[in-house]
Amino acid sequence: MIKRWLIIVAIFLLFGWRAHLQNECGVVERISYPIDTETWRLVQSFSAASPRHQGRFHTAEDWYGGRGMSYGSPVRAIAAGRVTYSSPNGWGRDGGVIIIEHTFPDGSIAYSQYGHLGEGGVDSYPPRLSCVEAGQIIGVVGDARPAPHVHFEMRSGMADTPGPGYSWDAPEDAGWLPPSQFILNWQGWLHPAHRWHSGNITPPPSMSAPLWLLDGGAVYIDGQRIKRLTADGRVLWRINLNREAVAVTGYEGQPLLTYADGTMQFVNLEGGLEQAWQTGYSFDSAPLFVGDYLMFHTSDNRLVLLDETRQNALWEVEGIPPYIRAYVAGDVEDFTVAIITQDNTIMTITRSDGVQYTGHLRDTGSFATATDGALLVYTRGGLWRVDKRGQWQLAKEDAPAGGGSSAILVTPDERMYLFDGQILYAFNRDGLALWQTPLPNIQGMTDLTLYGDKLLLSSSYGQLFALHSDGRRCGQLRVYGDETTRLYHELGRDNVLRVYSGNRLLGAHMMGINWQTFTSACG
């Protein structure tokens, strides 16, 4: 009995002391990279296979400051935390290692590791069990092979082990976390406007949007399951699926699942699968919306428009390759579809004539609908209007050049907004300039949306910029994204902006943002 009591006391003291140290070092309030990503560059990504290490997978991100600039540069703690490992000889010839434990507001714990550190530039390495502050210099870049750089890891465990730096197993399955995704997501989640988030979602291959519900929740596909999320970010129910789903849309007041094999199936809002039917096609993408109708790309390179019953093809056209951007202008009786493929081929297709135009762009572009229903195409070559006969003409001769990060929006009051990748321009219905606002460092494909008197510019790299319709910047926030990410958003009746950011390799998450707080800089 005494022995058992002593064991209980020992466990209590051990874990109690650890919790005391965590509290003593504080909870994370801000987070950033260990180096300046504006001047340093990523030279080896997380989970990349390395030829120098027999094809093993990289457990970190390697950041390099440039020739003659990396060696001796300061390395900073990404956030407040407790040092759990500190050794100038942690990797022997390859330099020192420091590991820091971080406690986050939701109670979760993660570990940051900094490898290839030198001994100069600071009085000493921070000792084990000491507390460090966010941004505190903890070491400098050492003389690592093949060139001085920082090996930066994020982990869910392995608190006091330097680790191998490379793994035969996929790092994300063995306790390592994608560093940039972790930091950028937590920067968003620590924003004052953050209300909730739901992570670790496995998006479908088609990267389809969630079905946003009127109650502020959502129904979405999570790998081989479909889930319903409440307005405050909790999972209400989940259903296991026996086949691959590519989209969930709304139809007759219920969620409707679309499977890759062409099956459609109702899902009731209480969490049950209902009536199903087969369309006769195999789908490989999320749908385009043509009014209340759905248009799908098929695995045999067709575009198919389903009728109002979602059971029969109303229209189809062959020879359409997979695309990275697509848009539909017009209504179901007279529409024009525009697509851009991975190699920047652009095609326009009409209901009446099929494929009308095929060309090649220097970069991707963006699309909108003119007030008369014509298609607008914004490219490096300018702003173009494509009429119902497929004829192209310049819509605005003095429009700034667009390109890969361009966006265009035409509002009901006939204002037009153009984003050229660096500056957002506003024009009145007569084409006269109203204002322009610089928005530098935007990456990826962008979209413009009008919510009331506020504009939201969103990018595939997870960047969100809110602006007043008079050009004032109201707020900005970023979550993780890259060139393969898709970002969707919807402003609910509860004044919460719901954002879904999905990456096929690294997963997806949803986040609720208080719109009033987010745009508070505009009053």
**For tokens 């009145």, what's the residue?**
428
| Gap between the Cα atoms of 181 and 170, Å rounded | 16
Name the DSSP letter for residue 350: E
- Whether a cis peptide bond, with omega within 30° of 0, leads into 74 is no
CA 26/CA 19 separation, integer angstroms: 11
Helix (H) or strand (E) holding 12: helix 2-25
- Taking the C-alpha atoms of residue 47 and residue 24, their distance in angstroms, rounded to an integer, is 34
Pick the closest to residue 151 from 45, 36, 74, 54 (CA basis).
45
Give the pLDDT score at 293.
95
For the chain, the structural domain boundaries read 24-179
Asked if 462 and 197 touch (Cβ cutoff 8 Å), the reply is no
Identify whether the C-beta of residue 170 lies closer than 8 Å to the C-beta of residue 490. no
pLDDT tens track, the chain, 523 positions: 444 544 444 444 444 444 444 568 999 999 999 999 999 999 999 998 888 777 899 999 999 998 888 999 999 999 999 999 999 988 988 899 999 999 999 999 999 999 999 876 555 789 999 999 999 999 999 988 788 999 999 999 999 999 889 899 889 889 999 999 999 999 999 999 999 998 788 887 778 899 999 999 999 999 999 999 999 999 999 999 999 999 999 999 999 999 999 999 999 999 999 999 999 999 999 999 999 999 999 999 999 999 999 999 999 999 999 999 999 999 999 999 999 999 999 999 999 999 999 999 999 999 999 988 899 999 999 999 998 777 899 999 999 999 889 999 999 999 999 999 999 999 999 999 999 999 988 999 999 999 999 999 999 999 999 999 999 999 999 999 888 888 999 999 999 999 999 887 778 899 999 999 999 999 7
Give the whole-angstrom CA distance, residue 475 versus residue 25. Answer: 31
DSSP state of 520: G
Closest CA to 73 of 130, 30, 134, 116: 116
Residue type, 7: I
- Single out the residue of 325, 333, 313, 315 nearest to residue 388, CA to CA: 333
Show the tokens assigned to 513: 């943002």
Cβ neighbours of residue 217 closer than 8 Å, sequence gap 6 or more: 228, 229, 230, 231, 236
Ordered alpha helix ranges (H), 391-481: none
183 with 479: CB under 8 angstroms? no
Rounded distance, CA 102 to CA 98, Å?
13
Beta-carbon neighbour count of residue 388 at 10 Å? 19
State both tokens at 364.
């991707």
Three-class DSSP category at 79? coil
Read off the tokens for 3.
């022995």
Distance CA 478, CA 291 (A): 31
Residues with Cβ within 8 Å of residue 405, at least 6 apart in sequence: 419, 421, 442, 443, 444, 445, 446, 459
Q: How far apart are CA 145 and CA 91, in angstroms?
A: 12
- State how far the Cα of 406 lies from the Cα of 34, in Å rounded to an integer: 31
Residue 208 and residue 203: Cα distance in Å, rounded?
8
The residue among 67, 6, 76 whose CA lies nearest residue 41 is: 67
Q: Kindly report the number of other CB atoms within 10 A of residue 401's CB atom.
A: 15
Count of CA atoms in the C-beta half-sphere (13 A) of 451: 21
CA torsion, ordered 231, 235, 239, 245, to nearest 10 deg: 60
What pLDDT is recorded for position 121?
56
pLDDT of residue 345: 95
Q: Are 159 and 84 a contacting pair, CB within 8 Å?
A: yes
Q: Which residues pair with 498 in a beta bridge?
A: 490, 512
Q: In what order do the strands lie in the sheet with 272-278?
A: 245-251, 254-259, 263-268, 272-278
| Residue 116 φ/ψ region, left for φ over 0, alpha for ψ in the -120 to 50 degree band, beta for the rest | left
Tell me yes or no: is domain 24-179 CATH 3.20.20.70.
no
332 close to 370: Cβ distance less than 8 angstroms: no
As a whole number of Å, the end-to-end CA separation of the chain is 66
Helix H or strand E encompassing 244: none
In sequence order, the β-bridge partners of residue 335 are: 330
